[in-house]
């Protein structure tokens, strides 16, 4: 049995690659097939670690994670419901308006990146209150709207709210203040 198998194996190994003998002036064609495939990656995650803005200073609130390997790129932008301020809320039921002279509190955002940003992309690591007041504020965008992206993005941004130190005394005064920041990831 083993001997027979060996003979078959030797016969197979010895078999030359089959070709075709051509007649004079004849022609013949055959093909090589080539393949290259990379799965597309387009991933977004937001994770909140804190929401209480108790004092002035730089207060971490969470992170945003993005992965993308597509040549036409992506965008990440923010929209502040209250246009870049912690907005004073009515707190006395049945009595409209602020009861204690509250004033809205400006804030800005800072982002600390960890990882790689694709060549052809750019990010804005500080977004001021005024930028949030103008509608959509880009965190990550294409450096050139018509350009293509030449390398992959795999990055995490730690996100912090910044309240300037000159607001520290105001931060100690009575009131209830809120804002909601919506972060949108858009695969272009």
Residues of this chain that interact with Ca ion (CB under 5 A) are: 70, 72, 187
Taking the complex as a whole, how short is the minimal distance between the CB of residue 64 and Ca ion, in angstroms? 19
CA–CA dist 89, 97 (Å, integer): 8
Taking the complex as a whole, how short is the minimal distance between the CB of residue 153 and Ca ion, in angstroms? 12
Taking the complex as a whole, how short is the minimal distance between the CB of residue 139 and Ca ion, in angstroms? 18
Number of H helices and E strands in the chain, helices first, is: 2, 12
Would you call 28 helix, strand, or coil by DSSP? coil
Taking the complex as a whole, how short is the minimal distance between the CB of residue 70 and Ca ion, in angstroms? 4
Burial of residue 158 (CB within 10 Å: 0-12, 13-18, 19+) is middle
Nearer to Ca ion, 48 or 148 (CB): 148
CA–CA dist 40, 43 (Å, integer): 10
Nearer to Ca ion, 72 or 168 (CB): 72
Nearer to Ca ion, 119 or 180 (CB): 119
Tally of CB atoms within 10 A around 46 = 17
Nearer to Ca ion, 81 or 150 (CB): 150
């Amino acid at each position: 049995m083993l001997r027979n198998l060996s003979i078959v194996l030797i016969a197979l190994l010895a078999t030359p690659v089959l070709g075709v003998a051509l007649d004079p002036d004849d022609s013949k064609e055959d093909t090589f097939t080539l393949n290259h495939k990379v799965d597309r990656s387009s991933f977004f995650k937001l994770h909140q670690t804190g929401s209480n803005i108790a004092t002035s200073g730089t207060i971490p609130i969470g992170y945003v994670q993005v992965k993308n390997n597509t040549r036409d790129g992506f965008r990440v932008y923010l929209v502040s419901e209250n246009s870049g301020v912690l907005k004073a809320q009515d707190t006395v039921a049945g009595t409209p308006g602020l009861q204690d002279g509250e004033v809205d509190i400006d804030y800005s955002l800072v982002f600390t990146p960890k990882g790689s940003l694709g060549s052809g992309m750019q990010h804005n690591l500080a977004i001021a209150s005024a930028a949030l007041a103008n509608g959509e504020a880009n965190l990550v965008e294409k450096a050139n709207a018509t350009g293509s992206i030449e390398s992959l993005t795999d990055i995490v941004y730690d996100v912090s709210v910044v309240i300037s130190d000159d607001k520290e005394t105001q931060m100690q005064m009575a009131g209830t203040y809120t804002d909601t920041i919506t972060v949108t990831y858009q695969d272009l």
